[in-house]
Amino acid sequence: MAIVSLRQEYPQSPDAVWAVVGDPATAAQWIPSLASSRLEDDVRHVVFTDGNPARERIVAHNDDNRTYTYEYIDGPLPLAKYVSTIRVDAAASGSVVSWDAEFTAAGENPAALEKDLEAGIGDIYRAALDEAGRLAHL
Tens of pLDDT, residue by residue, the chain (138 residues): 999 999 999 999 999 999 999 999 999 999 999 999 999 999 999 999 999 999 999 999 999 999 999 999 999 999 999 999 999 999 998 999 999 999 999 988 888 899 999 999 999 999 999 999 989 875
- Given a contact cutoff of 8 angstroms between Cβ atoms, the answer to whether 30 and 21 are in contact is yes
Distances (CA, A) of 81 to 43, 86, 92, 101, 127: 16, 17, 35, 10, 23
Q: Are 34 and 28 in contact (CB under 8 A)?
A: yes
User: CB of 63 within 8 A of CB of 17?
Assistant: no
Domains and CATH numbers, the chain: 2-137 (3.30.530.20)
Residue 119, judged by CB atoms within 10 A of its CB (0-12, 13-18, 19+), counts as exposed
